Each structure stands twice: as structure tokens, then as C-alpha cells.
Amino acid sequence: MSRIRLSAAALSHLGESQAAYDARAGKNLDTAEVALFDRIEKTPRRKDGSVTIDVNARGVDILLDYAEAWAIGAGQSFEWEDGPGELNAARALVRNLTALAGEKG
């Protein structure tokens, strides 16, 4: 089990994803994804809006899939006002999750 900090930007992206809506409705996701999104939603936020959660290897893989998709989307919308910040936050999360995945694998 590892710990990962999810920034307010990451939580915003995850919370607005179709997967988050599906998890709330309990459909179209495997039980690991539903449990992960439920844990993220129930974890108290820090003053800066971030959370720190414990994740297993499956949780790291799930979050890494979302973080990579977020980074791709942020890279494509880089010219928007918040594009650089979104891209930097997404890349930081990908780096952190990739490091955790390397520890597991």
C-alpha cells in the first residue's frame, strides 16, 4: 500500500470525469474503481483542497490511466488561460503515479 496526494486540480478533473459520475451511480466500473472514487470522495480535504489516500497497485493503475488522459487533454488545450497550470498538475500526477507503479512492478 502506498500513499498518493491528489491536488485540488486533480480532484476537480477526476470529479468531473464520466467515471466519477458512473462511480456515484455504481455502474460501468469495476469494484476497484468504485471503491477508489468512493474513498477519494469521502476523504477530508486539506486547506489547499488536496487529499492524501492510500492506494494499492490496482489503484495506482486506475489513477494513472486517468492522469495520462488528463495530461493529453491538457496538452491539447495548452493555449487556454489555465492550460499551462492544468498541464503541469497533470504531468506532476503522472510522474508521481509512475514512480509508485515502478515501486510495485
pLDDT score of 42: 92
Task: Check: CB of residue 27 under 8 Å from CB of residue 64.
Answer: no
pLDDT score of 87: 84
pLDDT in tens, the chain (105 residues): 899 999 998 988 887 776 667 766 766 667 888 888 889 989 999 999 999 999 999 999 999 988 898 888 877 776 666 667 778 888 999 999 999 988 755
Task: Check: CB of residue 21 under 8 Å from CB of residue 62.
Answer: no
Treating both helix axes as pointing N-terminal to C-terminal, what angle do 8-16 and 57-76 enclose, rounded to 10 degrees? 90
What Rg value do the Cα atoms of the chain yield, rounded? Answer: 13
Q: pLDDT tens digits for 68-79?
A: 988 888 777 766
